[in-house]
Chain A
Amino acid sequence: MILFDQVSKRYEGANEALSQVNFHLNPGEMAFLTGHSGAGKSTLLKLVALIERASTGNVIVGGKNLNKINRHTLPYMRRNMGIIFQDYQLLYDRTVYDNVALPLIISGFSAREVKNRVHAALDKVGLLRFEKKYPLTLSGGEQQRVSIARAVVNKPALLLADEPTGNLDPDLSYEIMKLFLAFNQVGVTVLIATHDIPLINKLDKRIIHLEQGRISHTARAQTA
């Protein structure tokens, strides 16, 4: 699903954020990206999400080389991914329902189908009763679940999350992580960047550890 082939990323006027990164994530696999701040976790996710472009090397997502994606095909590529941020990136002047419906409206689904899918997604994250509320009236954990509902409403093949539990307490973090595990179980490929080592150590998933822009080691959680 994701293939990094000799990928380096250098920001202008800075050191290399990623250097010579190689890794492969199979379809249906779930993995965590760990490492200190500035180790390159976010940069790696941004390359997959086409927010940044690799300086050298190839990033291949869903069989497509991202170097060949241009301005016009980029939106269609992003529709195959659900992206989740530490700061939720919700629209605060729209209701929970409208926030979750946005990806479907962009893709041009009919109103009836939008309604069905939004309700299904909100139900999955346990927020169906909040559909008419505005995001600011919800707690952090609830807002994050809205953003997850928005990310999965399109039924993407790939979920990317950058510190999804960074602002949440351990209990809420575990709830969120269980959601990701559930999506992974139905075949969604999941890649999550996180600091939360104690949490992921409880899960039997691959951990990719970055240090100064390089993959220092990968391991299953139990042996890390």
Chain B
Amino acid sequence: MTNQVQLRQLKPDLFSQFKEFFIRHFQVFFYSLGLLSHTPFATLMTAAALGIALALPAGLYVVLEQAEQLSSDFDTISQISLFMKKDLNEQQVKTLKKKLEMLPAIAQVKHVNREAALQEFKSNSGFGDALKALKKNPLPHLLIIYPSLTHHSAEQIDVLVSQLKKIKQVDLVQIDIQWLKRLYAIIHIAQRGVLIIASLLALAVLLIVANTIRLAIENRRNEIVVMKLIGGTDSFIRRPFLYTGFWYGLFGSFIAIMLVNSSLIIINDPLNNLSSLYGDSLFSLGLMDISSSLILLASGCFLGLLGARMAVGKHLKDIEPK
């Protein structure tokens, strides 16, 4: 049949089709970018909405991650204070100190003499005159224990503390680890919170992109009809819209990175001020590192593509030549 001969003429050869496939993808990639640049203001508004939605969970994540790191730094320098019974003299305390230094769990023991402590307290606290009225030194001897680096996990510290409590010369064992545990617990709650916020805002990103693409499809209804009439496959017609979603996601996450970093810079100044009030070590928030930025970019692009795919899957089927 002549028909059959002509059917074969219609098709380019396989290699050419394969090569053209990539060229077309490449072209559509930039063609969709070109379409967005025709409406820069609308594009920017959508991308900004996406950027804000992505920046909130990303910023919270960065802050929490750094808070966790900070508290793990404290972990290694956590110390245990041993308050001796008041009837102990200096010699007995020194003997105990030597015994404790033999334990493998303990790296170092520092003795704070009760007389020296009283002097320091008198000069620093401003209660000097009131303290002069006391006939006896109210302060006990104090041993500050630094756990060795191999024994500083929470469980090991617990074991050490219970050992220390059994020593009969010891009046009170005070550890700084309790607040650390609480801080960890708070961070974990906050992390869950960030997870919830991130999920909700990811959904928002999907909906924003899907709605924007739905409008784009509606605007180009006539073009889609013509494409279908001349034999455009669904994937061919879908492609520019998918790339548009991808671009929105990419721009959105770029804006999010900029928002997060500029917020961190704005916060850092007063934060330095605050940390200098607490001690001499300056604590400041670092900017987003490369891996978190890449993760944010990738999730932005993925959400953009997914949102576009949702819209395209639902609306392209409805548009058929009449």
A-to-B contact residues, CB < 8 Å: 1, 27-28, 49, 51, 62-63, 71-72, 75-80, 83, 89-91, 102-103, 105-111, 113, 150, 154-157, 187
Shortest C-beta distance, A43 to chain B (Å), equals: 12
Q: Are B1 and A27 in contact (CB under 8 A)?
A: yes
Q: Are B230 and A80 in contact (CB under 8 A)?
A: no
Contacts of A28 in B (CB 8 A): 2
Given contacts A91-B226, A109-B16, 5 further A-B contacts (CB under 8 A): A77-B231, A90-B226, A91-B223, A108-B16, A108-B17
In the complex, which residue of chain B has the Cβ closest to the Cβ of A71?
B234
21 example contacts (A-B, Cβ-Cβ < 8 A) are as follows: A51-B229, A51-B322, A63-B1, A71-B234, A75-B228, A75-B231, A75-B234, A79-B231, A89-B225, A89-B226, A91-B223, A102-B230, A106-B236, A107-B231, A108-B20, A108-B21, A108-B24, A110-B19, A154-B10, A154-B231, A157-B3
Q: Are A103 and B231 in contact (CB under 8 A)?
A: yes
Q: Are B20 and A157 in contact (CB under 8 A)?
A: no
Shortest C-beta distance, A25 to chain B (Å), equals: 12
Shortest C-beta distance, A141 to chain B (Å), equals: 20
Q: Bound complex: CA of A83 vs CA of B231, how far in Å?
A: 10
Report B57-74 CB contacts with A as 1/0, cut-off 8 Å.
000000000000000000
Contacts of B2 in A (CB 8 A): 27-28, 157, 187
B-to-A contact residues, CB < 8 Å: 1-4, 6-7, 9-12, 16-17, 19-21, 23-24, 222-223, 225-234, 236, 320-322
Contact A157-B230, Cβ < 8 Å, known A107-B12, A108-B16, A109-B20: no
In the complex, which residue of chain A has the Cβ closest to the Cβ of B14?
A108
User: Which among B6, B12, B223 is the interface contact of A109 at CB below 8 angstroms?
Assistant: B12
Which residue, of B3, B9, B222, B320, has the highest number of chain A Cβ atoms within 10 A?
B3
Q: Are A91 and B222 in contact (CB under 8 A)?
A: yes
User: Which among A49, A62, A71, A106 is the interface contact of B227 at CB below 8 angstroms?
Assistant: A106
